[in-house]
A and B are shown apart, each in its own frame.
Chain A
Amino acid sequence: MIFVAPWVLVSLLALPLLWWLLRVTPPAPRSEIFPAVRFLLGLNATEETPARTPWWLLALRLLAAGLVIIALARPVLDAGTALAGKGPVLLVMDNGWAAADDWARRKEAAAALLDRAERAGRKAALLTTAQDGSGTPIAVSATMPVADLRARLAAMQPQPWPSDRAAAAEAMHTWHDNTDASVIYVPDGLTDGADFSRFAAALRDTGSVTEICCDAASSPLLLPPTSEADRLVVHLAQAPRVTPTAASVLAQGGDGRTLARTNVTIPAGASVASAAIPLPPELRNRLTRLVLEGPPSAGSVVLLDERWRRRPVGLLSGDLSTADTPFTGSIYFLKRALGPFTELREGDAATLLKRDISVLILADRPLPAGTERDTLEEWVRKGGLLIRFAGPRTAEAATNDTDTLLPVRLLAGDRQLGGAMSWSQPAGLAAFPPTSPFAGLPVTDDVTVTRQVLAEPSADLAARTWAALQDGTPLVTEAPLGAGRVVLFHVTANADWSNLPLSGAFVDMLRRLVELSVGVASAQNNVTLAPAETLDGFGLLSQPPPAATGLQADKFGSTPVSPRHPPGLYGPESGRQVLNLGTSIAAPEPAPPIAGATLETVRGSARERALGPPVLAFAIVLLCLDMLVSLALRGLLRARVSATAAVLLLLTIPAAHALSNSPNPAIDTRLGYIVSGDSQVDSIARAGLEGLSEYVNARTAATLFEPDAVQPGQTDLSLYPLLYWPITADAPELTSAQAAALNDYMSRGGIIVIDTRDAGSGAGFAPGTEDALKRIARSLIVPPLAPLTGDHVLSHAFYLLSDFPGRFTGDTVWVQRDQDRTNDSVSPVIIGGNDWAAAWALDAGGNNPYAVLPGGQRQRILAYRFGVNLVMYALTGNYKGDQVHVPAILQRLGQ
């Protein structure tokens, strides 16, 4: 701790004077009312020495005065060691993407070091290692007072691109204010390219370096995902660490909602890791970004465009019966080729088009005029991609010239090459024309075509040809139709006419075609896409910075992000392309500490804390205390301490009663009631079970928790020993799932108490429940029933009962008739109409809101006792039944 203004402490010498002054000044007199004051008048003449201020009050005042003096001397805690040098301080701050995740702490650490520079009265300059969005080159700022620099520091933001080490080194070399300078370096922990050593040397050359380091490991960098058949595989990269790193990746839709998440663990020492996000295609098409959970930064966001969306493909063959036959079926090879990377659907055209599909492949299925062709044509016009394969049927249909949903007119019949009766050789594949989507695929010469359908020559045939045979005859032709496109393979989709389906080229070609099918024709490669929205350093989409310029459509995969090309969305609204930070960035490499630098940790370089204000506040508290004490000494303070304490006590008394709650029904025993749908009946049932649970907790060793509402068929009933079921007159018949759940529950030892609530006077309250019970019980497996009598275990499971009243009384209670040994002769169902829950119910004040009829506390107690017996019966089964035999057993044992 140091004092900024130590000379103020001299005034501590004045404290003895204050002591003396306080000693000689008598305290203010107490004021008392006294009837016999007449006798006191004139008595003070005999007094010589005034009363003294008590010593402890004097000490309190001196302490307060001393604290005020100390506070005015401005003590500072955690003052770090002074920076080396006497000249200006250069603050070098990495503000590339890797610095964003703990940006606030970095700024704080930098500010803490600036505090020291300010205390030493030094000026400072700022250098950021990443270029800002305005496109101005990196340069050291003007040297200015620290207070001015602080404002600039506060306004600084991390950038979404990496630091430019070379330019920063150059800027330091050209800085001229560096006489006796020192450098504060706030690194982001990454080398950001090969120029780090030059940068480090430049730092050392500028002055003595203080580096804030070592515990600010940057978070991982999220790389663009790869798309697989039913999943999206996310990749993470980071500088290797000695401990495993756990991270979560969220897949978010356009509205910002998280649709899926996955956990990735980067093993110790590894620099990359992957994890899959399984997603149904409909959800996957809604994804717009992947986000790494944690502090926001540009490196933790990957934007997704059309390339990562799935395109479901429908398959439809001409001959449905043999379509799937291995090796010969018309769609067998299509399924093998498309299966790994797309979702395939089969069925007839109507079924397929019911859901959204991107591509529909017809394998040798002619389309004569009719509803199917109309539907398909409409679908294509709306943007679908129809891929057709030729075959004998298509060739035959071409003879009639009825099939119009083809890119070209076909000549009648097919053409056979290289057969036994032909002179010609099977034809190979020619190089793909550059306008074709297949352009760039390797052309293998192992593909041969023996039969094909031929297109009728026309002027634009060449333009419509995407693939041709070596003799120039088209193999794949296409024609746009409305917003969509029709593509025709002039061969079959199986190996009958060519061995194309057997080759790898087939897979690639189909893949390219499916990628073509987004409904968005990919932009021309040489079109420049203007930036629309770009990410800032914290991974938020915002307006592009001034320096951002357009990017050619085909350069998206190879352009590193920079101020000119910030990561973000490019192109028009209808066809956005994405430039991601992770696409073309070098693997993150950890930067070594600067040689010879003084190292300080981010956490260690905590802000200096000025102790003055708290000390002053404490002194003021002491002075307030002094004032209260003085008032009390003069008798002016009537502290109503006891009243205040009583009020506080009243406030702290907890609510009167509450059953403990626990979220896990499997751990704690609790009762359940079957939801009837009538909110009043359900609330009575709930209140009743709560009242019963409290009664049971108070009087038995059983501990019941808050009752639950259960829905048979939805809730797992096996967790409840006893279910209470109030029947309403309008109760619907049980669904089969509900009946199955209840029968299963009963057969495995559960007990259901069915309450028709219509005994005695209840008939007026709940008319018609008898019929509802019959309706419900129809689908339940109810054993033969008998009236509950005094020798049943239920009547002496805890209390000895001969009567079982609830809110009403007098109704016969029915239990399982014969004491058969299944289920330990515990009755799975207990039926009565006494409305027990209403008798048990407690309101918030702990009172019984429902009067028992005909009435009397005895009836209420008996109702509770019957409830306790029910609970005990459910929890202990026929245990009390066995106790009946104890005398006989003892007798046989000779006791």
Chain B
Amino acid sequence: MPNDTLAAEALGARLPPLLVAADRVASTVAQGVHGRRRVGQGDSFWQFRRFVSGDPLARIDWRQSAKSGRGAPEGWFIRETEWEAAQTVSLWRDASPSMRWRSRQVTVEKRDRANLLLLSLASLLLRGGERVMMMQQGARSVTSRSALESLVAELQAADDDNGLPPLVRLPRHGTVVLFSDFLSPLDEIRALISRFAAVPVTGYLLQILDPAETALPYQGRVRFRGMEADGIALIPRVESVRHAYAERLKAQQDGLASICATAGFGFGVHRTDHPPEMALLTLYQALAAR
């Protein structure tokens, strides 16, 4: 019980700044992005069309009808709004130990950046009227921005992750967005993506990497230890293996990109020393284009 209380307090202490940062990032991206460009349910005006029989009387725009100067019913106009159909976007971020790491050159851990991007995206999507849900057991989709806080709570609850998204029932034709470092073997990831593609859903994979993971800036004799029991590597001269490492990383990313392309998923890479707005904009545009 005390542990729960403490956790709740810690959460409460962290919430506002995280949300504020997420909102701030989201609002810088929201400008200039448009809706569905189709007639449908929504608030913004789309077009007027002539009344056809069967249309409910309540939807007649009497002011426009009066301006036309013709008699009923050929002079009647219906006001149509732009369709703002809500789509369910499922979000997931990797909470495995390897995400809880940062190198000395940056100030933010990979997981914190993933949290920020996830919440910003959620905020942005909720503003656009989409439905958002966390990809985890028992999670429910939310539609209002005030539900962001419950997202945060679920984010904290999903701490004991094993590096792969849980098997939950996803709405068909939905969208999934996965935030992770995607350092696990390509086969695992391929299996995961093909599982998603079978639902069917589409989505986007954002690989979040620390600058040290891309550049390997160490020197001299270094003993590297992994964070998930993936072994110890003693490198006598790190300088000399930098190139080989970069090639291996490139191979991983290329593999990821090809997996995603096959399944119709998007793929992007984000480094934690880059501003989060860039990644969010890319992400949002990729989702909006769908």
Chain A residues packing against B (C-beta within 8 Å): 26-44, 46-47, 49-51, 633
Contacts and interface: CB of A to CB of B under 8 A. Distances in A.
B246 to A, nearest CB: 9
A36 B247 CA distance: 13
Contact of A39 (B222, B232, B245): B245
Given A43-B233, A51-B237, A37 B225 contact: yes
B233 A40 contact: yes
A236 to B, nearest CB: 77
Among A28, A38, A41, the one with the most B-chain Cβ atoms within 10 Å of its Cβ is A38
Given A40-B235, A43-B235, A35 B241 contact: no
A41 B231 contact: yes
B225 A32 contact: yes
Interface in B249-270: 249, 252
Contacts of B183: 35-36, 38-39
A37 B233 contact: yes
A691 B156 CA distance: 56
A31 B220 CA distance: 11
B226 interface: yes
Nearest to B241: A43
A637 B15 CA distance: 34
A40 B241 contact: yes
Contacts of B227: 33, 35
B234 A35 contact: no
A36 B233 CA distance: 11
Contacts of A44: 233-236, 241
Interface residues of B, number: 33
B45 interface: no
A50 to B, nearest CB: 5
Contacts of A29: 220-223, 234
A181 B63 CA distance: 138
A40 B230 CA distance: 11
Taking chain B's interface residues, is the majority helix, strand, or loop, or is none over half, making it mixed? mixed
A129 to B, nearest CB: 73
B240 A47 contact: yes
7 contacts: A28-B221, A32-B222, A35-B213, A36-B181, A36-B249, A40-B235, A46-B240
B226 A37 contact: yes
Given A47-B241, A51-B236, 9 more contacts: A26-B236, A32-B222, A34-B225, A35-B213, A36-B213, A36-B245, A39-B183, A43-B241, A633-B220
Given A35-B213, A36-B183, A41 B220 contact: no
Contact of B249 (A33, A39, A42): A39
A827 B116 CA distance: 75
A33 B225 contact: yes
Interface string B200-226: 000000000010110000101111111
Contacts of A34: 212-213, 224-226
Contacts of A33: 101, 224-227
B87 interface: no
Contact of B221 (A39, A40, A50): A50
Contact of A35 (B226, B232, B235, B240): B226
Nearest to A34: B224
B1 interface: no
Contact of A32 (B181, B224, B236, B249): B224
A701 B210 CA distance: 61
A356 B235 CA distance: 102
Contacts of B232: 37
B248 interface: yes
Contact of A46 (B210, B241, B248): B241
Contacts of A51: 220-221, 236-237
A35 B244 CA distance: 17
Nearest to B231: A41
B98 interface: yes
Contacts of A30: 218, 220-223
A50 B231 contact: no
A40 B224 contact: yes
A28 B237 CA distance: 12
Interface in B178-201: 181, 183
Contacts of B212: 34
A46 B226 contact: no
A506 B276 CA distance: 121
Contacts of B218: 30, 32
Nearest to B239: A51
Contact of A49 (B235, B237, B248): B237
Nearest to B185: A38
A38 B223 contact: no
A484 to B, nearest CB: 94
A802 B76 CA distance: 84
A40 B245 contact: yes
A57 to B, nearest CB: 12
Among A26, A31, A39, the one with the most B-chain Cβ atoms within 10 Å of its Cβ is A39
A50 B233 contact: no
B236 A43 contact: no
A630 to B, nearest CB: 12
A157 B64 CA distance: 128
B102 to A, nearest CB: 10
Contacts of B101: 33, 35
What 4 A-B pairs are tightest by C-beta distance, nearest first? A35-B98, A37-B226, A39-B248, A40-B233
Contacts of B237: 47, 49-51
B179 to A, nearest CB: 15
A564 to B, nearest CB: 85
B104 to A, nearest CB: 10
Contacts of B236: 26, 44, 47, 49-51
Contacts of A41: 231, 233
Contacts of A43: 233, 235, 241, 244-245
A329 to B, nearest CB: 106
B240 A37 contact: no
A605 B233 CA distance: 65
A27 B99 CA distance: 31
Interface in B93-151: 98-99, 101
Given A43-B233, A51-B220, A35 B181 contact: yes
Contacts of A49: 236-237
A39 B98 CA distance: 14
Given A35-B101, A36-B249, A46 B244 contact: yes
A334 B233 CA distance: 116
A816 to B, nearest CB: 67
A52 to B, nearest CB: 9
A53 to B, nearest CB: 10
Contacts of A32: 218, 222-225
B231 A38 contact: yes
Contacts of A37: 224-226, 230-233
Contacts of B240: 46-47
B144 to A, nearest CB: 36
Among A28, A30, A40, A49, the one with the most B-chain Cβ atoms within 10 Å of its Cβ is A40
Nearest to B220: A51
A40 to B, nearest CB: 4
Contacts of A42: 233
Contacts of B220: 27, 29-30, 51, 633
A46 B181 CA distance: 27
Contacts of A46: 240-241, 244
A39 B226 CA distance: 11
A31 B222 CA distance: 6
Nearest to A44: B235
Nearest to B218: A32
A32 B226 CA distance: 9
B256 to A, nearest CB: 14
Nearest to A27: B221
Contacts of B252: 39
Nearest to B228: A35
A29 B236 CA distance: 8
Nearest to A42: B233
Interface in B36-75: none
Contacts of B222: 29-32
